[in-house]
Amino acid sequence: MKKALLASLLLISNAFPQLPQNWSPNFPQATTVGSINAIAEAADAYYVGGSFSRLAGVAVQGIARVDKATGTVTPLGAGLTGGTLTVNAVAVMGGDVFIGGTFTAVDGLSASRVARWDGSAWSALGSGANGSVNAMAVLGSELFIGGTFSSVGGVSLTSRLAKWDGTNWLAAGAGFTSTSVPTGGLAVAGGELFVGRGAQVQKWNGAAWSNVGPATDSISGIATQDGINIYVVGGSTCRHWDGASWTTLKTFDEFATEVAMLGGDVYVGGQFTNYLERWDGSAWHIVGGTGVDQYLTMVSQVGGAVFVSGDLTVTDGVKTQGLARWNGSTWSSIFEDLDGGLNGDGYSIVELNGKIYVSGSFTTAGKIAASHVACYDKTTNTWSALPGSQGGSLVAHDGELYACYWVDQPLPPYPLTVAKWSGSAWVTIGNLEASLSGNMASIGGALYVFGDISTANGTPINHIAKWNGTTWSDAGAGITLNADSFVQSMCQAGGQLYASTFNDISVSELQTSHILQWNGGAWVTHTGNITPLVNCMTAMDADLVIGGTFVSINGVPCDNHVARWNGSTWSALGTGVAIDGGVNVLKYTHGLLFAGSQNTVEPLQEWNGSTWEQVGGGPNWDVWDITVVGDDLFVTGSFTEAGWNDLESETPIPAPSSSYIGSYPLTPEVAIEQEAGGGLVDGSGAVYLGSFAPGVSSPGMTFTLRSDGTIPLLGLGVVKAGANPGDFTVSALPSALEDGATAAFSISFTPSSAGPRSAVLRFSSNDPDENPFDVTVTGVGSGSGSAIAFWRQNWFGTSDNSGSAADTADPDGDGTSNYDEFAFGMDPTADDSPPGLRVGVNGGSIELFYTRGSSAASEVGFEVPWTQTMNGTDWTYGDDSEQVLSDNGIRQEVKVTVPKGTADRRFVRLEVW
């Protein structure tokens, strides 16, 4: 008999906790969220610290590595995880990376304001500092830190400044009793440490402190290359110590807070007009062609360059993502350019021939210039521009792409251009006029442009213009609106053509919407005085669904701003959409209704027929339009992230970046488990429900139905087929199951006659790959024959004790004979092990627990003898007593008790015959 060993394994990750992310990673925005405060250089990488949660588009918390060769940003474990999540200083010494700041934990490890990364793991440096660490400097083999702390590592005389020798914290002389060291307050030159704090510069020569010159004005930063010429900034001035006296080099018009040196030149940054200026020894200059255009939080010399940080997206024409590198002649970025999305809002998105077209306020798409209209090819993950259009709305009609956009004019009516993309240029097909609104829809083979359209190519139009491929005509017969109203949306549902209107749009307390219906010759009012507005409409099967900002329709409350017309009545469509804004767009696909809204909580939701649910964590801001390519949902809007985040945790984890466009897979996936972790395979194997007398029902065997896809399982049901479907009963299933959810159901067996019984249970769903999901169930109706004969018949199709069905045979090659498989209720066709034995002591008894087959209990002998010596003949039988703890008709849980005896040991075993 084989023994089974069970082990438990605990895995501890040094990376960010992972939430299930199904949104496409193809549209990141390479931005930095938070401030960059410090940078240090190693042989093959830069280490960047700050208060950021995203660095150049990558989710990292406060500290990250940037590869010099590739620009790839990688986290160092989970980064900062406790306290105020800020790094003020970074240093590299002896191959290790040191950080200082206001944090109290790193990667889940307690570390008070200072920590070390050895290339694979974080460690604390003793008990750390009791206050903020603002600055770091390496002098020889010692790391100096400065800040607001009064003690480091519990060592005396370490107020405001301390040093780490690689093993211990030490004081540097008598330390300082007052006045903190600022973030730019440490500099090293000529084997000496210079400290600028308060109004005094001091020097440490390795043995003692001395003042450098008399006191000067308040100091926030210090720089020196030779230890003689020292430059400090503070307030709004930059001052120079030449070894004999202080000289003011410049008084800026705002704060000057940062200073660094490169090649003998002095660089000063801050909040003043030019933000960064260079002193060449005789004059001040802007750095680079156009300089920087944002307030700087750091100016630091690292290696052969000066690094500056702030709210920088482009520096002198170079995309810099919050951190820019100046080598003395040109600006550059150290980050890999991850931009894959848009750099501004998307307003309209459509699919045509498998490609995605989007319009909006953006000027770049991915890494290319794209003025307001761009095309995304999913198969190649590439963007291309469609120049010449002003954006506006897009529609795919009759296999071609159309755009509708305004042309500037000082007074209404304004020119509204309708153009068709030829593959290389936009070709105008309509010169329309409107004063308030213009939009498009492709319905029933015709292109409609609607709003308050007044003319189309000179033809008078009453709000709706129709293009038949060659000419424009008026399609607004019957519409009567005032000058402050227009047609907002159109669609076809249930064979009927509908339109909605915005009425009295400029007076908020008078705003209403009407639903219009085309009667074959004119528009007539279907539903009037909807308050306030209907923004959009779509067909859901034969029903009309509308969305907007309205809260009721025909007296029916619609607090969620979505309503359905089923051909005879209006009803609200659940609750939960547009918590703090209106519904902008509705899209019905894959059996689900998607709603995009102006909603900072859940701006993209899906209706599964009974409830609204957020879509995969959703975008973080407004969704303006939705389209579908195959099994992928594409959305565009004002969002910059899409997916799950965990901003409420101690370590905020942002959602994946998705810059104004996002893609979510629409893939349902059904799974069925017989036991926890025991997944079934569609159409493979069988589940045995046991042996029972005809007319006697088995206990229900519990199964778990899982929704493992990215969208809900819909249309759930089960049909019984096979030889004996009436002998098996399945409990009720839900009609829909949200993605990630589970539902328990049971199957019971009531044989109608003796002998082997079987059925195929065909579970239906919207999973295209496993619809139906087939589960074969079997059982035995017990009769005059033996239980093992019925068991053989069920598994091998014969009751004969011969061949692969013989008691001694082992057809599955797992080392367990058929007889033992029958005894323990196992599957003789699967490679598995007999259930393990559990042994314990209870008072004066030894208790042994095991599992056996229910039908085997009356035909197989089970006994538990004991011995003191393990001698082959020294086994005592007949002292055991047996208790069946549970019996589900398939397996029994059994407890056997034997005397413990008085010796210090006793051996027991389970025998089967």
Average the pLDDT over 111-136 and give the result.
98
What mean pLDDT, rounded, does the chain reach? 91
Is the pLDDT score of 249 beyond 60? yes
DSSP string, 117-181: E-SS-EEE-TT-BSS-EEEEEEETTEEEEEES-S-BTTBTT-SSEEEE-SS-EE--TT--SSS--
pLDDT score, position 16:
43
Q: How confident is the model at residue 579 (pLDDT cuts 50, 70, 90)?
A: low
- Count Cβ neighbours within 10 Å for each residue of 866-876 and write b for 16 or more, e otherwise: bbeeeeeeebe
Is the pLDDT score of 856 beyond 80? yes
- Tally Cβ neighbours within 10 Å of residue 382: 15
Q: How confident is the model at residue 269 (pLDDT cuts 50, 70, 90)?
A: very high
Is the pLDDT score of 17 beyond 70? no
Amino acid of residue 727: D
- In the block, tokens 């290696």 appear at 303
Is the pLDDT score of 840 beyond 80? yes
Burial category of 732 from C-beta neighbours within 10 Å (exposed 0-12, middle 13-18, buried 19 and up): exposed
- Count Cβ neighbours within 10 Å for each residue of 215-249 and write b for 16 or more, e otherwise: ebeebbbbbbbebebbbbbbbbbbbbbeeeebeee
Let me know: does 91 contact 49? Beta carbons within 8 Å. no
Is the pLDDT score of 9 beyond 70? no
Let me know: does 366 contact 661? Beta carbons within 8 Å. no
* Closest to 894 in 3D by CA, of 912, 906, 877, 907: 912
Task: Kindly compute the dihedral angle of the four CA atoms of residues 600, 601, 605, 607, in this order, to the nearest 10 degrees.
Answer: -130
pLDDT score, position 646:
66
Spatial distance between the Cα atoms of 360 and 49, rounded to a whole number of angstroms: 35
Task: Write out the two tokens for 843.
Answer: 């008072």
Q: How confident is the model at residue 872 (pLDDT cuts 50, 70, 90)?
A: confident
Task: Write out the two tokens for 74.
Answer: 């990688």
Spatial distance between the Cα atoms of 637 and 697, rounded to a whole number of angstroms: 57
Is the pLDDT score of 15 beyond 50? no
pLDDT score, position 353:
96
pLDDT score, position 359:
97
Spatial distance between the Cα atoms of 87 and 113, rounded to a whole number of angstroms: 8
Q: Which residues pair with 130 in a beta bridge?
A: none
pLDDT score, position 8:
24
Let me know: does 445 contact 469? Beta carbons within 8 Å. no
**CATH number corresponding to 670-784:** 2.60.40.10
Q: How confident is the model at residue 11 (pLDDT cuts 50, 70, 90)?
A: very low
User: For residue 18, what are the contacts with CB-CB under 8 A and spacing of at least 6?
Assistant: none
Given 3-state DSSP classes, what are the helix, strand and coil percentages for the chain, each rounded to the nearest 5? 5, 50, 50
Is the pLDDT score of 175 beyond 90? no
Spatial distance between the Cα atoms of 821 and 165, rounded to a whole number of angstroms: 67
Spatial distance between the Cα atoms of 894 and 864, rounded to a whole number of angstroms: 12
Is the pLDDT score of 871 beyond 90? no
**CATH number corresponding to 838-912:** 2.60.40
Let me know: does 481 contact 501? Beta carbons within 8 Å. yes
Is the pLDDT score of 576 beyond 80? no
pLDDT score, position 652:
62
* Closest to 222 in 3D by CA, of 204, 192, 197: 197
Domain with CATH 2.60.40.10 in the chain: 670-784
pLDDT score, position 742:
95
Spatial distance between the Cα atoms of 486 and 504, rounded to a whole number of angstroms: 9
pLDDT score, position 678:
63
Segment 802-815, tens digit of pLDDT: 999 999 999 999 99
Q: How confident is the model at residue 4 (pLDDT cuts 50, 70, 90)?
A: very low
pLDDT score, position 332:
96
User: For residue 183, what are the contacts with CB-CB under 8 A and spacing of at least 6?
Assistant: 37, 38, 88, 89, 134, 135, 220, 221
pLDDT score, position 649:
60
Amino acid of residue 842: N
| Least confident among 42-51, 536-545, 563-572, 655-664 | 655-664
| Least confident among 305-319, 341-355, 679-693, 710-724 | 679-693
Spatial distance between the Cα atoms of 567 and 160, rounded to a whole number of angstroms: 77
**Within 13 A of 327's CA, how many CA atoms are on the CB side?**
6
* Closest to 183 in 3D by CA, of 229, 253, 233, 239: 233
Let me know: does 260 contact 188? Beta carbons within 8 Å. no
pLDDT score, position 6:
23
Spatial distance between the Cα atoms of 332 and 73, rounded to a whole number of angstroms: 16
Segment 632-685, tens digit of pLDDT: 999 999 999 999 876 556 666 677 889 999 999 999 999 999 864 567 777 777
pLDDT score, position 7:
23
Domain with CATH 2.120.10.80 in the chain: 88-306
Distance from the Cα of residue 33 to its chain's centroid:
16
Is the pLDDT score of 390 beyond 60? yes
For CA atoms 108, 110, 114, 115, give the dihedral sign: negative
Spatial distance between the Cα atoms of 29 and 75, rounded to a whole number of angstroms: 17
Average the pLDDT over 589-593 and give the result.
97
**DSSP-assigned letter for residue 737:** B
For 111, 114, 139, 146, 168, the CA distances from 150, given in Å and listed in that order, are 17, 14, 22, 10, 17
Let me know: does 718 contact 763? Beta carbons within 8 Å. yes
* Closest to 731 in 3D by CA, of 706, 753, 712, 704: 704
What CATH fold (topology level) applies to the domain 88-306?
Neuraminidase (2.120.10)
Spatial distance between the Cα atoms of 26 and 206, rounded to a whole number of angstroms: 53
| Percentage of the chain exceeding pLDDT 70 | 96
More confidently predicted of 20 and 618 = 618
